[in-house]
Structure 1
Amino acid sequence: MKISALVAAQALSVANKSTIDTTSGRLVGIESNGVRAFTGIRYAQAPVNELRWEPPVPFASNQTFNVSTPGPACLQQFAAFSANITIPVFNNPPPPSGEDEDCLFLNVWAPTGGRQEKPVVIFIHGGAFAFGSATLNEYNGESIAGNQDIIMVSLNYRLNIFGFPSAPDLALQKSNLGFLDQELAIHWVQQNIQYFGGDKRKVTLMGQSAGSVSVSTAYARHTEWNPPFRAAIMMSAEDTSTLPTPDFDAFNSFANSSGCMQAPGASRLDCLKKVPAATIHNYTNGPLSGSFNPVVDNFTLYDDLLNRIRTKNTARVPVLIGSTQDDGTIFVYGAKNLTAALPVVFGSNAPSAETIHSLYPGLNDSQALAAGYRDNSFRCPSELWSAALVSSGIEHVYRYSYGAVFADNQPLPGLGAWHTSELPELFGTFNASTATWAEKVLSHTFQSSFANFIKHPKKSPAQNWPEYGQNGTVANLAYNGNVDLDNVVQTVSHSTLDSACDAFWDKLRDFRP
């Protein structure tokens, strides 16, 4: 009896495996619930030792690899001053395979059966270019792939000092290594997605937060001629105007702390490449580290993306774009004194407390601060992008604001429809044991509306959802408890949402360098 059970289990194990030949080798994944999952596919050579701080090198092989478990996340940076919130909220539970400098892996979920040459969505995760991973449980693609008959791809890219070092030792066009990683992964999809049943002509880029910024930069650097995607989804953050002068202070301080005292250049970089990754990781997560961000290189990132749109120097494909009603709450959580918080939150461009209250009458200090953060960082960039796209003649622009709030998705009291709160609903990874009926219905509705855009980007994603157009019509999603596909949209004029943007924030986001 025990032998028979063992034989049956072995047969089931074999039956549940799925094998595909790709440029990365023969990949052995697993099949479950009608979806083939290939997790931990290496798309670039390990960016370690001599390849640290170098553009990614494509990985090619004819060997067989078991890709049934995710690869490790790229090394994470959680700023010491905010780690008490960012770690429990955005890294709980942490990536299942841990962190490593060798991290350039991607994942593919491909439904069995259904249509051939399926539409494809490439998801780019967020995390302020400092943390995050495609391997987080929240981003498991099985539900959306299986329910919607689309192929889901997600990818890791180098982060913080490893991906965006802002180092004077590097050639400018080799500085935004994380963006170069993303481009290589997109190229991998173009080369290989047909083997999974996908159509490389039907690729949509989708990102959230820093991932959405990444999508916006990809949209801007690819021109109208043959971009490697036919549509884009940007969720809660887009790049607008960026100062062209890089700031090297954080990298120089790191180099000095590492004992590499040479002048910036090849010799210092060679010294720094010998520093153990664990030592660098400890430094960047310590109190002395600065932050590391993309720099304008006019190659992966341009200084004025909005102007590139207006002058028709970008990809010209349909866009789904938006933010959440309470995108700002988590970033200013616990701030009580508005006057003291404003320069910390907004830096040298901080408005006065009087200005904030004039923009948000009727809100208390904490609420007004959160609304200002939401508008400056998320809502106003969506408005500026939507308007620029439409004014340049791009059709099929759909803008939304997400307003659903569920009690089991409030890691801190009073966050509302907070930044990233829509992702469990989109991926279908919400807690099924605590979710209400309304949350389960909304997950299907939200997932279906985004999948509709991925499948047919020139059609309305949901009933009563019009294009943004010259009138600036926005779809409020799941406001007032509406969760069904036929009533989830309530249309509103952009002026209702964007009054503070028009009055103040837009001039900070849309400037000519």
Structure 2
Amino acid sequence: MSAKFLFLLGTILALVHSSSSHHAAPLPSATLEAGVIVGTTSTALGSTVTVNQFLGVPFATKPMGKTIENDQTSSLLPSTILSTYTPPPAGESEDCLYLDVYFPATATKNKPVIFFFYGGSYIYGTNSVPRYDGTNFAANQDIIIVAPNYRLNVFGFSNSPQIPLDQRNVGFYDQRLSRQWVERSIHAFGGDPRAITIWGQAAGASSVDNFITTMPINPPFRAAILHSGQAGISNKVTNGTVAWDALAQQLNCSTQPDVLNCVRAANASTIISILENSVLFFNPAKDNVTDLQDPEIARKLGNVARVSVLVGTIAQDGSVYDEKQPLILKYGQDNTTAWLRSAVGDHPMLIGLVEEEYSINSTANGWPITNVYEQISAIYTDAVYQCPMSIMANDSLNAGISTWRFMYNVTFPDLQPIRG
């Protein structure tokens, strides 16, 4: 299907949509390198501000059939037609390199830009989750929001020994491609490419920290927000090629002369099924290009992007993950000692001190600990989030970087609690 036909089809669809009501406002449009795209409008709950939405805008070529391989030369697709929904719908797909753009319909030129990365431990996540809808934020903050997708798990971080180390983190290269798209194209939506703030949550925040620590000279952003994640101090298991070898074996590829091509030829749905059933997790490789071997040292030495940073956590950060952790699922929610032993080894004195500090009927971060689930959640929150984020903030401040720190600890008496 030619780019010309797609462009004409998009124009026809836009005309049909706009002519359905004589009183309907014209749909928003933007002119990019690849052609004209047409968006839609919405309003946030309790707001009268109209927000323009451009959903499912492609920023790179489709990675279909190239899921275990980096493509740094990916270019924009031909003319996008009606960008009024986020493809693909809820679910999983190799075809995921799209981004969403939100901004007030009354936006003038040179608006500041928020560039947001979602979290999910580099295992799962998507910008189409309702909580990442930028309509409300754009309406209330008079700002432009851009939220890209990026490849995850084995599709983004395969760690195949046949791939050069500096090419294994294709998920991070996806992020860089989307950032380049923003720098090149955001002016078409009224954004200022010189006023980009990168923001991430959990693994997305770790990704933001990778930008900070790998781009010390002329960083392509002016500020950064790290929400419940950083790259300097991590509990991530560096599994090397263990997960890759296990996947190759289950695909009957381990004895093939070219294991990489054998895995690459497998159907994506088959691979996803194996990942889910075998609980295989693929972590980013420390390639010293997209992910430094020791970003904490770089920060202490001041060899990082010298931009203002806002670092934050939530009082119960750990509760959003702990029910999904294999360690807890294995031991249940009734044995904190066993869980700690599996996490830190057989160190009775250390385990005893931790259990005393987080004893039942005490409090942690302002929240009561009334059972084992809450006890493990509190330990996990401090060990994985609160403590590392505080260290990161202090190191940043000591390096002479403008640094702010927050902790969100709010309760709403009329609402049911939401873990995490």
User: Normalising by the residue count of structure 1, what TM-score does the alignment of the two structures yield?
Assistant: 0.69
Q: Once the two structures are superposed, what CA deviation does each residue of 1:177-232 show, in whole Å capped at 9, x if it has no partner?
A: 11111111011100000110000111001111111111111111111x22111000
Q: Any idea what the Cα deviations from partners look like across 1:88-136, whole Å, max 9, x if unmatched?
A: xxxxxxxx44321111100101212244200000110011111110011
- Rounded to whole Å, the distance in 1 between the matches of 2:344 and 2:22 is 61
Tell me, yes or no, if the aligned pair for 1:42 and 1:59 is still in contact at 8 Å: no
Q: Do the aligned residues in 1 keep the contact of 2:70 with 2:173 (CA within 8 Å)?
A: no
CA 1:356/1:44 → structure 2, altered by over 3 Å: closer, same or farther? Answer: same
Within the candidate set 19, 26, 37, 1:27 is matched to: 37
Q: Distance in 2 between matches of 1:245 and 1:120?
A: 34
- SS in structure 2 of the partner of residue 127 of structure 1: coil
Indicate the residue corresponding to 1:36 in structure 2.
Answer: 52
Residue 340 of structure 1 is matched in structure 2 by 338
**Shift in CA distance, 54/336, structure 1 to aligned 2, threshold 3 Å:** same
1:233-312 map, 5 Å? 233-241=225-233, 247-262=240-255, 267-286=258-277, 288-312=278-302
Structure 1 residue 52: deviation in Å? 4.0
CA distance in 2, matches of 1:335, 1:105: 39
Residue 359 (structure 1) shift: 3.2
Structure 2 matches for 1:46-125, cutoff 5 A?
46-50=62-66, 52-72=68-88, 96-125=89-118
Question: Is the Cα contact below 8 Å between 1:24 and 1:41 reproduced in 2?
Answer: no
User: 2:382 — aligned with what?
Assistant: 375
Unaligned runs of 5+ in 1: 1-5, 73-95, 420-513
Q: Is residue 325 of structure 1 aligned with residue 335 of structure 2? A: no
Name the amino acid aligned to 1:25: G
Q: Quote the residue 1:406 is aligned against.
A: 412
Q: For residues 167 and 141 of structure 1, what CA distance do their matches in structure 2 show?
A: 36
Is 1:179 aligned to 2:172, yes or no?
yes
Specify whether residues 255 and 350 from structure 1 end up closer, same or farther in structure 2 by C-alpha distance, changes over 3 A only: farther
In the alignment, which residue of structure 2 is the partner of 1:315? Answer: 305
How far 1:12 sits from its partner (Å)?
5.1
Aligned residues of 2:311 and 2:404 also touching (Cα < 8 A): yes
The Cα offsets for residues 291-331 of structure 1, whole Å up to 9 and x where unpaired, read as: 11111111111122121111121101011111011112343
Are the aligned partners of 1:255 and 1:261 in contact in 2 as well (CA < 8 Å)? yes
Q: CA RMSD in A?
A: 2.5
- The gaps in structure 2 that reach 5 residues or longer are 1-16, 44-49, 324-331, 363-368
Cα distance in 1 for residues equivalent to 2:356 and 2:233: 25
After superposition, residues 97-496 of structure 1 pair within 5 angstroms as 97-223=90-216, 225-241=217-233, 247-262=240-255, 267-286=258-277, 288-333=278-323, 335-344=333-342, 346-348=343-345, 352-360=350-358, 363=362, 365-395=372-402, 397-406=403-412, 410=416, 418-419=419-420
1:213–1:238: 8 Å Cα contact kept in structure 2? yes
Residue type matched to 2:64 in 1? V
Contact 1:37-1:107 within 8 A present in 2 as well: yes
What is the rounded CA distance, in whole Å, between the counterparts of 1:409 and 1:217 in structure 2? 36
**Partner SS, residue 35 of structure 1:** strand
Shift of 1:17: 1.4
Q: Distance in 1 between matches of 2:167 and 2:380?
A: 31
Alpha-carbon distance in structure 2 between the residues aligned to 1:273 and 1:218: 29
TM-score by length of 2: 0.84
Rounded to whole Å, the distance in 1 between the matches of 2:112 and 2:58 is 22
> What is the aligned-residue identity percentage?
32
Mapped contact 1:47–1:54 kept (Cα < 8 A): no
Q: SS of the counterpart of 1:355?
A: helix
Superposed counterparts of 1:13-24, under 5 Å: 15-24=25-34
Distance 1:385 1:98, change over 3 A: same
SS in 2 for 1:66: coil
SS at match of 2:28: strand
Number of residue pairs matched by the alignment: 379
SS of alignment partner, residue 321 of structure 2: helix
